[in-house]
Amino acid sequence: MKKQHYYIYKKGEEKSIVALDYDKISGYRFIPKNNVKYDGVKVNSVVVINQSMIEKVLKRKIKNKLDLYLKLIIDYIGDEDDGDAYREALNDLSRYKSIVLHKYQKYLDEKYLKLLLKKIAVLEFELIKKINFKQLDEDVYEEEIHRRR
């Protein structure tokens, strides 16, 4: 299939059409979800160049992911589940933290990055606390069973 490129220009400045080499553009690249059925142009990837727009996109993406982790922790608070779900969530959160540090760090300002890392640290602390509590609870239960025999 032939690659098609589209040019964006301001309506009042029709003479200033710019051809862009997409491989050389430095900016934040992402793939849109394309959830809406549309007969027009299908967008496979988006490159955002404007720094303020990049920050808005990343902050929204990060907020949604942190809300997902927070919801996961809240859902597991009342459940009598084994610690595997907590460990899996902790591993996923650690992986997400490394993604933030390596991929998003160059686009986000230092103040927001510190705040984000503090939020992730709080979520990690809660998960570790749940894992340790679950492990302690299992050890006490096994000890009680062993005493009865």
Q: Which domains does the chain have, with CATH numbers?
A: 50-148 (1.20.58)
What percent of the chain has a predicted confidence (pLDDT) above 90? Answer: 12
Q: Which residues touch 83 (CB under 8 Å, ≥6 apart)?
A: 130, 131, 134, 135, 138
Q: Which residue stretches of the chain have pLDDT < 70?
A: 1-20, 22, 76-83, 137-149
H-helix or E-strand spanning residue 46: strand 46-48
Q: What is the CA angle 67-137-133, rounded to 5?
A: 35
Residue 118, pLDDT score: 92
Written as one letter, the residue type at 77 is I
- Identify whether the C-beta of residue 108 lies closer than 8 Å to the C-beta of residue 142: no
pLDDT at 126: 84
φ, ψ of residue 46 to 5 degrees: the values are -130, 135
Q: What is the pLDDT of residue 7?
A: 59
Rounded to a whole number of angstroms, the CA Rg of the chain reads 23
pLDDT on residue 35: 77
pLDDT digits (tens, 9 = 90+) for 38-74: 777 777 888 888 888 899 989 998 999 888 888 877 7
Distance, CA of 74 to CA of 89 (rounded, Å): 12
The fraction of the chain above a pLDDT of 70, given in percent, is: 72
- Find all residues with CB under 8 Å of 97, minimum gap 6, and list them: 117, 120, 124
